[in-house]
Structure 1
């Protein structure tokens, strides 16, 4: 039987509308059961503390439990891959951070594509990084540190980070490139050992999150040289930025955010972003996050997606230029 084109067109529109009904209904009912928030690191530390704070508050806002599931290993890739391969229904989320997703993936070559296998929900916050030195290093400012590094024997001054391909590692490589300072990276398996060594004097320079060392700076156990972001931080307002110290256009922040599997309905992503933003706007949440050294953000999925793409391209260039590989 032959049908007029207008009838066929109406039938097509109707079919499309009917196909969308389950997605709309699912979004309206979401969440109908507990949500799993995968944290790709061991319990403890700033990332895990952020996840637990957010899970508690978000669970209250959504009316469903948000369960933190720590899945450490492979520089964060194991947990990220679990989420990338999960059902795209909004019930499995990733607390991801830039060191694993947009810097380390250029080196570790995981079995997922950060640009295509996730639906970014929102950037939870920014964590400013800082360069500190052991008191044994006779430098009280960036210019003095640069001069000391250039005068050092053996190819430059060692600086440590929590691992190869981390944001701190690449911040050091960028600093070496832009300021012409001879810095030699030492990769630790975690930030705690690197901090122990800089406190003990066996590591001259450390790049880490402000929250990890602010108390040691205040106690005079390490010396703060500069923060890596575009602005000073409230926890250490006397510490200048690298741009203030003479490194033109230098701005590196570490971020943490929420991502869902690619294909998660847009309505679910929008609901999650809206609820997370509400949680981040609560004075109690904001205060606790600032204590952790994280500045709350809560931007839109599109804004977060754009930053992931920008950072992935930026750090890919750094890795390639520096010739960084896993040992």
Structure 2
């Protein structure tokens, strides 16, 4: 009400910003106070729009916008299995205005898969929190004469080099799942990498490639629409979101790959800002609405402290390293 003397959170922050500017304080100094966010936040999505990780990222961003009253603008910077977007996060200013998707592909798989990366996973980022975990899902084109994993193995083994599997890019868990499948089953297949899951789906649906170990959200939707045939999940256990599908390990013992995503910023993000983002992220991930929307997309919410997240990433990298080497999927 005009004249009531009521001060909103937004007006208070604007006043603080103006006062700090008048006093010669910089944005990073303001950020250190924990008064975050002070304006719109750019969230760098490292894969193209429309894929599973993009959908889940936007769910989190939407909830964070509701909690803070500020805009969270998703900027997709895709390519090189997430390395391009991840480099953009590393090169951004540590003022809390730019965050981005922390993903298994560039952060846990990339250090072993690639001889050189344009960033250092241990030095160039501030790890804030996990957001979700989810398995991958093997889906094949409907015209393939196979309806089980053993039938698919027999088909591919009888036709070496004939069948191709798509991925959302070299170095993703989607790629590594296919490489592990070929290695463990003794198959000769062609790997066709794309710049994200969405363009890969187009060719899979058209039959230009024959199969894909996709993140479960998008693949499961296409299977339930009858547009693809689903065979198995890559987690250690059957997915509660698709319990009718077996695990790959039921046919190839030891086959297990999960995907995950989190939120991070560039190195040097002020501790007060990290704490604030973490507290809001926890609130977002505990929201029944976010839990339900993640479940609809085959993912489970996954909150961590910064220390837990950093430790998990390092342990995940160590776990993937021998798998990558054994699969022969290393890239120069």
Q: TM-score, normalised by structure 1?
A: 0.81
Distance 1:260 1:194, change over 3 A: closer
CA–CA separation in structure 2 for the residues paired with 1:165 and 1:267: 34
1:156: how far off?
A: 6.6
Contact kept, 8 Å, 1:24 with 1:267, in 2: the verdict is: no
Over aligned residues, Cα RMSD in angstroms? 2.7
Structure 2 equivalent of residue 286 of structure 1: 291
Find the counterpart in structure 1 of residue 38 from structure 2. 32
Q: Which residue does 2:212 correspond to in 1? A: 206
State the distance in 2 between where 1:190 and 1:39 align. 11
Over 3 Å counting, the alpha-carbon distance change for 1:219 and 1:30 in structure 2 is closer
DSSP 3-state at the match of 1:225: strand
In 2: Cα distance, 1:325 partner to 1:284 partner? 40
Counterparts of 1:195 and 1:323, CA distance in 2 = 22
> Superposition pairs for residues 148-163 of structure 1, below 5 Å?
148-152=155-159, 154-155=160-161, 157-163=163-169
Q: Per-residue deviation at 1:23?
A: 7.7
**Partner of 1:3 in structure 2?**
none
Asked if the contact 2:98/2:265 (under 8 Å) is kept, the reply is yes
Question: Deviations for 1:131-160, whole angstroms, at most 9, x for unmatched residues?
Answer: 1122332222222222222222x3474322
Residue 120 of structure 1 and its aligned partner are, at CA, apart by 0.9
1:251-280 deviation digits (Å, cap 9, x = unpaired): 211111101222223333232122101101
Equivalent residue, structure 1, for 2:184: 178
* Preserved CA contact (<8 Å) 2:31 2:272: no
Further displaced range: 72-81 or 220-229: 72-81
Higher CA-based Rg: 1
CA distance in 2, matches of 1:148, 1:273: 48
Report the alpha carbon displacement of residue 185 of structure 1 after superposing the two structures with TM.
Answer: 1.9
1:248 to 250, 253, 259: 253
Q: CA deviation at 1:116?
A: 1.7
Q: 2:143 aligns with which of 114, 131, 136?
A: 136
For 1:220 and 1:25, how far apart are their aligned partners in 2? 49
TM-score w.r.t. structure 2 length?
A: 0.80
CA distance in 2, matches of 1:101, 1:147: 35
- 1:146 corresponds to 2:153: yes
